[in-house]
Amino acid sequence: MAVDTDHLGTRIRLADLWADPYPIYRELRAREPVAWVPAANRYLVTRHREVVHLEKHPETFSAAERDSLMIRVMGHTMLRKDGAAHARERAAAESVLRPRTVRDHWTPIFQRNTDDLISRLYERGEADLFREFAGPLAATNLAAVLGFRDVSAADLQEWSQAMMDGTGNYADDPQVWRRSETAARGVDDAIDAVVPYLRRSPDSSLISAMLHAPDPLSIEEIRGNVKMFIGGGLNEPRDSLAVGAWALLRHPDQLAAVLADPSLWRKAFEETVRWVAPIGMYPRQTTREVELGGTLLPAGARLGVVLGSANRDEEVFPDPDRFDVSRRHNNHIAFGGGPHFCLGSWIARAQVSQVAWPTLFGRLGGLEIVPAEPVRLGGWVFRGVLNLPARWRP
Confidence of residue 5 (pLDDT cuts 50, 70, 90): very low
pLDDT in tens, 17-50: 999 999 999 999 999 999 999 999 999 999 999 9
Task: Catalogue the long-range contacts made by 97-103 (C-beta closer than 8 Å, 24 or more residues apart).
Answer: 97/206, 97/343, 97/344, 97/346, 97/347, 98/346, 99/346, 101/204, 102/346, 102/347, 102/350, 103/350
Contact by Cβ (8 Å): 292, 66: no
Question: Whose CA is closest to 322, among 252, 366, 389, 271?
Answer: 271
Section 179-199 average pLDDT: 95
Section 182-208 average pLDDT: 96
Contact by Cβ (8 Å): 351, 206: no
Element housing 18 (H / E): helix 14-19
pLDDT in tens, 310-324: 999 999 999 999 999
Quickly list DSSP for 263-303: THHHHHHHHHHHHS-SB--EEEEESS-EEETTEEEPTT-EE
Domains of the chain: 8-391 (1.10.630.10)
DSSP code at position 393: -
Residues in the chain: 394
Q: Write down the mean pLDDT value for the chain.
A: 94
The percentage of residues in the chain with a pLDDT greater than 90, rounded to a whole number, is 85
Please determine, for residue 66, whether its predicted confidence score (pLDDT) is greater than 50: yes
Please determine, for residue 187, whether its predicted confidence score (pLDDT) is greater than 50: yes
Confidence of residue 70 (pLDDT cuts 50, 70, 90): confident
What number of other Cβ atoms are within 10 A of residue 19's Cβ? 15
Contact by Cβ (8 Å): 325, 353: no
The percentage of residues in the chain with a pLDDT greater than 70, rounded to a whole number, is 98
pLDDT at 154: 95
Which of these ranges, 12-16, 73-77, 268-272, 368-372, has the smallest mean pLDDT? 73-77
pLDDT at 103: 95
Confidence of residue 6 (pLDDT cuts 50, 70, 90): low
Please determine, for residue 299, whether its predicted confidence score (pLDDT) is greater than 60: yes
CA–CA distance, 240 with 246 (Å, rounded to integer): 10
Amino acid occupying residue 35 = A
Helix axes 135-146 and 107-122, enclosed angle (nearest 10): 150
pLDDT at 290: 98
Please determine, for residue 2, whether its predicted confidence score (pLDDT) is greater than 80: no
Element housing 136 (H / E): helix 135-146
Section 147-151 average pLDDT: 93
Residue 207 vs residues 40, 84, 127, 191: alpha-carbon distances, Å: 34, 21, 33, 8
Question: Whose CA is closest to 123, among 376, 393, 318?
Answer: 393
CA–CA distance, 60 with 73 (Å, rounded to integer): 25
**What is the SS3 assignment for 11?**
helix
pLDDT at 172: 86
Please determine, for residue 287, whether its predicted confidence score (pLDDT) is greater than 70: yes
Please determine, for residue 242, whether its predicted confidence score (pLDDT) is greater than 60: yes
